[in-house]
Each structure stands twice: as C-alpha cells, then as structure tokens.
Amino acid sequence: MIKAGIVGITGYVGEELARILVQHHQVEIKTITSKSYAEQKYNDIYNNFNGIFQATCEEEDLEKMANDLDVIFLALPHGIASKKINKNILDKVKVIDLGADYRLNDKDIYEQWYQTEHCSSELLGEAVYGLSEIKREDIKHSRLVANPGCYTTCSILSLYPLLKEDLISRNSIIIDAKSGVSGAGRALNIGTHYTECNESLKAYKLLSHRHTPEIEQELSIAAGEDISLVFTPHLIPMNRGLLTTSYAILNQDISYNDILDVYKKYYEKEFFVRIAKEGIHPETRWVKGSNFFDVGFTIDERTGRIIIIGCIDNLIKGAAGQAVQNMNIMFELDEKLGISHVPIFPA
C-alpha cells in the first residue's frame, strides 16, 4: 500500500483528492493537514465522508510526513510550496504539487506573473510538468511533479498535436476559456458569492491570467520555438466543468480526416482522452465527475481556420484526478486506478 498525505485537504481540490484516494485500493491516506481546521474530524467538515473517512486534520509537519509517507500531495495556493520543499524532503518522499510553484521553468517569469518570490528555484530544473499524456516517461522517474492548472490542461491537450505537426500558425492562437465557480476555490470571495455570479457571465483577468505563461511554455516546447497567444478566461455560473474554444489559422489546405488522423496519432491509445465524432462538439456535462478530456474540432474553410473544443472537469482532470494519475505513473501502477469511473449524469 502507498502511504499518502494530503496537505491542504479542506479546499475543493483537497476534498476531491480525499474522495478519489479513499476509493483507491492501492493507497492508504495516513496524514491529512489543514491550517484552518486543525484537530477537527474530516467528516465533520465534509459530511459526504460520514461513515467513510473519519481522520482528524493535523498541524502540518513536512519533515515528519517525509519520514513516514511515500507520497505527499500539496493542495496549497501558489507561493507556499516553494518555501516548504527542499532536496532533503525529496530524498525521502515523492511530492506532487497541485499549486503553481514548480510549473514554470523560469524563476523570473514565475515571479513576474505571480508577484511573489520563488524560494527553491534550484528545484525548477528537477520538477516535471505533470501533464500525464505528454510527459509520462519523465513522470515515471520523477520525485517532484508539478501538477498542471485546469485551464492549461484543457488548452494544451487541445492544441498539442497541431503544434507538434506544424499544422497551425504559431502566433495565431486565441483561447476562449470558461470555468465553473469551483475553480476559484473555497475561500470567501465577493465575486463568487451566489448573488454576484449567478445568472451572469463575465470575462476576468484579461491579458493577465497566470495560466497564460504556463500554456505558452508547454506549447512552445511542442512547437519547437517560442510562441505567444491570447488567453481569455470566463466565469460560468455552474459548480464545476471547464471548456476551451481555441482558434488558429491552418498552415495548409487540409481535410477533416487528415487532422483526425493527427489527433489519433497522439491520443488514440490514451484512455482519458476521447476524440469526438465529426459534428459532435464536447460538452462539460459529458465529463463531469470524471478524469476524461474530450476534444473535437471543426475546419472553417471560408477563413482557413480551425476551431478546437476541449472540456474537462476542472477539479478532477484539471486537478485532483490528474494528480492521482501522476501518482499511479510514479509508482508504476495501472494509470487508471482510482480514476476510471464513468462521468456522472445528470448532475
């Protein structure tokens, strides 16, 4: 059994991690920590765990956890993990960081976009970007995985095959993204109060969303050269789910079936990637509660553009589910363990 600990278990992502790992027959959750709910029973905080998982939240002690556990999941806001993780801890335990501190390769870019100091930049070269379908071989041998953000997971998987095959103009990309309110986290925020966001749709953080450099970094690696793109996120008045609509100019006159073959080349053997049939456009309701990424595309022959639709559950494939997928890879388990359930509907 893999002995696991979750730091920051009382946020939405931490709760999803607990829900998945409680049902994972190769994992035992040994330690859970929460700064706000120390000494409280977890099933008193989240009553959906009543009679299922009754552990008590502890004060965080990473050194002790590193000595006692096989893997630590950090479900913390940005700017915290880099102050806590060091080579001594990594010599003892594998770490999967669900925050942003190890996703960007460049310390200066991180500090520019996140407006905080990175305190363990010596680990940036070691950390593996944990997009499972693309970085699998590196993840297998890693002891520090940077779990991707939700917007980035959907955006990168949508566009990666097209850039790898040089099928789209690299500086023509526009990503229009929409996420449910759970993506903003559990902390109180006036913008996510029911009466502030219900019956409304808004764009936010135009030209300044912190997932932008993450998307550009990984797609630049795919393209083999630096690219820049336009990324605009929107808040949708629903609990969970994320959909991206990406636009790009095609480099050549190419048929639907030719592009379909490209997507199949990269994803046909990927259990968690589902390519939609022609004329069917992915919807968030078909991935809710699951670790699946659905993708479909349409060619606009009139303008020479391609439109790619991708969608995920932002809390699962966009966070906790992908973290467990990465854990399975790191420990050489069946990648689908604990996360292969069918999406829930209706929900």
| Residue closest to 26 by CA, chosen among 339, 318, 292 | 339
Q: pTM for this structure?
A: 0.96
3-state secondary structure of 300: strand
pLDDT along the chain (347 residues), means of 10: 97 96 98 94 96 95 97 95 96 98 97 96 97 98 97 98 97 96 77 82 94 98 97 95 98 97 98 97 97 98 97 98 98 98 92
The radius of gyration of the chain's CA atoms, rounded to the nearest angstrom, is 20
CATH level 3 topology of 2-148+316-330: Rossmann fold (3.40.50)
The CA-atom distances, in angstroms, between 152 and each of 23, 66, 77, 346 are 27, 29, 16, 26
CB 119 within 8 A of CB 83: yes
- What is residue 188's predicted lDDT score, i.e. its pLDDT? 67
Residues with Cβ within 8 Å of residue 287, at least 6 apart in sequence: 241, 293, 294, 311, 312, 313, 317, 343
> Which pair of structure tokens corresponds to residue 302?
């009139």
- What is residue 237's predicted lDDT score, i.e. its pLDDT? 93
CA torsion sign for 11, 16, 22, 28 is negative
Q: 2-148+316-330 with 151-312: one CATH topology?
A: no
- What is residue 222's predicted lDDT score, i.e. its pLDDT? 98
Domain 151-312 has CATH 3.30.360.10: yes
Q: Terminal CA-to-CA distance of the chain, rounded, Å?
A: 33
- In this structure, are strands 202-203 and 230-235 parallel, antiparallel, or unpaired? antiparallel
The domain ranges of the chain are 2-148+316-330, 151-312
The CA-atom distances, in angstroms, between 66 and each of 11, 98, 132, 144, 162 are 22, 17, 24, 13, 41
- What is residue 217's predicted lDDT score, i.e. its pLDDT? 98
- Catalytic residue numbers read 150
For 300-304, the CB contacts below 8 A with 24+ separation are 304/249, 304/250, 304/253
User: SS3 letters for 181-241?
Assistant: HHHHCCCCCHHHCHHHHCCCCEECCCCCCCCHHHHHHHHHHHHCCCCCCEEEEEECCCCCC
3-state secondary structure of 145: strand
For residues 32 and 56, give the distance between their C-alpha atoms in angstroms, rounded to a whole number. Answer: 7
- What is residue 194's predicted lDDT score, i.e. its pLDDT? 80
For residues 71 and 147, give the distance between their C-alpha atoms in angstroms, rounded to a whole number. Answer: 14
- What is residue 185's predicted lDDT score, i.e. its pLDDT? 77
